[in-house]
Amino acid sequence: MIKFNEPLYTEQGVTYIVDAIKVKKRTNGDGEYTNKCNKWIETNFCSQKVLLTTSCTHALEMAALLIEIKEGDEIIMPSYTFVSTANAFVLRGAVIVFVDIRTDTMNMDEKLIEEAITDKTKAIVPVHYAGVSCEMDKIMDIARKYQLYVIEDAAQGVMSKYKDRFLGTIGDIGCFSFHETKNYTMGEGGAVLIKNPDFVERAEIIREKGTNRNLFFRGMVDKYSWVDIGSSYLPSDLNAAYLYAQLEEATEINNSRLSAWNTHYALLKDLENRGNIKLPVIPEKCTHNAHMFYIKTENLEVRTKLIKHLKDNGISAVFHYIPLHSSVAGRKYGRFHGVDKHTTKESERILRLPMYHGITEVSLRRVAETIYGFY
Ligand SMILES: *Cc1c(COP(=O)(O)O)cnc(C)c1O
């Protein structure tokens, strides 16, 4: 059986976990490994302020709290995304305004954002699907023109770039995921990256249950107390220890994923030339991180048959998001602006192939041969 995903494993990660438990004897939040991870991301991605969180979902919730979303505010985002992108803002009372996607990258179509803006719009939330960047120059220009916040859902975009900048560091706030299914993992976890300096101090407070505990530890106040709303968004240092070992190897891990991605692409290129499938498109300005490898079939019917054919041959391949605007909660908490020209249609064509760190050349060849066999 060729699995769709295998979580990244490193021996060094286990060594660091044991170190946190047995030697440092400190496993709660904001210990040595959490700080190391924060600093690593700040230094390597040129981010002013990074805080590990318990998930990307929670990083997005922190973003909604930081930009002070209130009842009736509108947030613009693609419908083709994970539920957390929308939920984080709906929890604060926002209405989600979905816009259509581009067919090449499956990212929100930046040309449709401006007409979706109303006097209630508070933020734009670009989602970098498959670790391939949205058109950030255009999105930042629109945000500046209408004084909107930009919250990047960079859950899949760790190590990816737009031009020479890392994803997650371009908007006011960026959100990473370190879930088991992502390129770097701490089991469940994430990070919030703060660019807008107005949010730095409050981010620490919101993440620490609304207290100024961090200022207390730094000796800046003589006791800590409840100063704002907040929750517990800080992960255990055990999880951070596991992640830190992967960050130390981030370039090697990224290169190895890219090499598997390029092999998939080269092996399947002929099928695209023959007009059977579509391969992913990486725009010139984007450096991706091989988070995902997908192909597009002609339509839903062909995709369903191909999934079965792969399964019968011991290969697990899966589709992805059901567009949020067509879901029960999406209809209740959001609306689709304009016409759904591409979102539903393209979402029904996508088929994600096995893609993980350490996938063998033999497996990649078997996947390609099986797909050729189908056609
Ligand atoms: C994985 C993912 C999330 C959620 O990440 P968690 O860390 O599991 O909360 C949010 N948005 C996108 C686009 C994702 O791919």
Plot region of 8 (φ>0 → left; ψ -120 to 50 → alpha; else → beta) = beta
For a pocket test of ligand 1, which of 5, 60, 84, 108 has the largest count of ligand atoms closer than 8 A to its C-beta?
84
For ligand 1, the distance from its centroid to the CA atom of residue 276, given in whole angstroms, is 31
Task: Give residue 178 CA to ligand 1 midpoint distance, Å.
Answer: 8
Ligand 1 center to residue 224 CA distance, Å?
A: 32
CB of residue 317 inside a 6 A radius of ligand 1? no
Q: How far apart are CA 43 and CA 25, in angstroms?
A: 27
Residue with token string 């170190």: 19
Query: 101 forms bridges with which residues in the sheet?
Result: 108
Can you list the alpha helix ranges (DSSP code H) found in the chain? 11-18, 32-45, 56-66, 83-90, 136-146, 200-207, 213-217, 237-248, 250-273, 300-312, 328-333, 343-347, 361-374
Whole-number Å distance between alpha carbons of 55 and 349: 29
Q: Is 55 in the pocket of ligand 1 (CB under 6 A)?
A: yes
CA 88 to chain centre: 14
The reply to whether ligand 1 has any atom less than 6 angstroms from the CB of 183 is no
Which value, in Å, is the radius of gyration of the alpha carbons in the chain? 21
pLDDT the model gives residue 218: 83
297 vs 317: CA distance, rounded Å: 13
Nearest CA, atom 14, ligand 1: 155
Mapped onto helix, strand or coil, the DSSP state of residue 34 is helix
Collapsed DSSP state (helix, strand, coil) of residue 199: helix
The b-or-e profile of 281-318 (16+ CB within 10 A means b, else e) is ebeeebbbbbbbbbbbbeeeebbeebbebbeebebebe
Place of tokens 């302020």: 49
Res 229: pLDDT = 96
Each residue's pLDDT tens digit in the chain (375 positions)? Answer: 999 999 999 999 999 999 999 999 999 999 999 999 999 999 999 999 999 999 999 999 999 999 999 999 999 999 999 999 999 999 999 999 999 999 999 999 999 999 999 999 999 999 999 999 999 999 999 999 999 999 999 999 999 999 999 999 999 999 999 999 999 999 999 999 999 999 999 999 999 999 998 888 888 888 889 999 999 999 999 999 999 999 999 999 999 999 999 999 999 999 999 999 999 999 999 999 999 999 999 999 999 999 999 999 999 999 999 999 999 999 999 999 999 999 999 999 999 999 999 999 999 999 999 999 999
Task: Report the C-alpha gap between 161 and 338 in whole angstroms.
Answer: 30
Tell how far the Cα of 355 is from the centroid of ligand 1, in angstroms.
17
Degrees (nearest 5) of the Cα angle 291, 74, 283?
A: 30
Q: How deeply is 233 buried, as exposed, middle or buried, from its count of CB atoms within 10 A (0-12, 13-18, 19+)?
A: buried
CA torsion, points 279, 285, 289, 292, in degrees to nearest 10? Answer: -30
Best probe residue, ligand 1, of 177, 193, 233 (max atoms within 8 Å of C-beta): 177
Strand partners, 177: 190
Establish whether residue 177 lines the binding site of ligand 1, counting it when its CB lies within 6 angstroms of any ligand atom.
yes
Strand duo 149-153 + 161-162: pairing:
unpaired
For the chain, give the number of residues.
375
57 lines ligand 1 (CB under 6 A): yes
Q: Are 29 and 203 in contact (CB under 8 A)?
A: no
Q: 294 by DSSP, 3-state: which? A: strand
- Dihedral sign from CA coordinates of 263, 266, 269, 270: negative
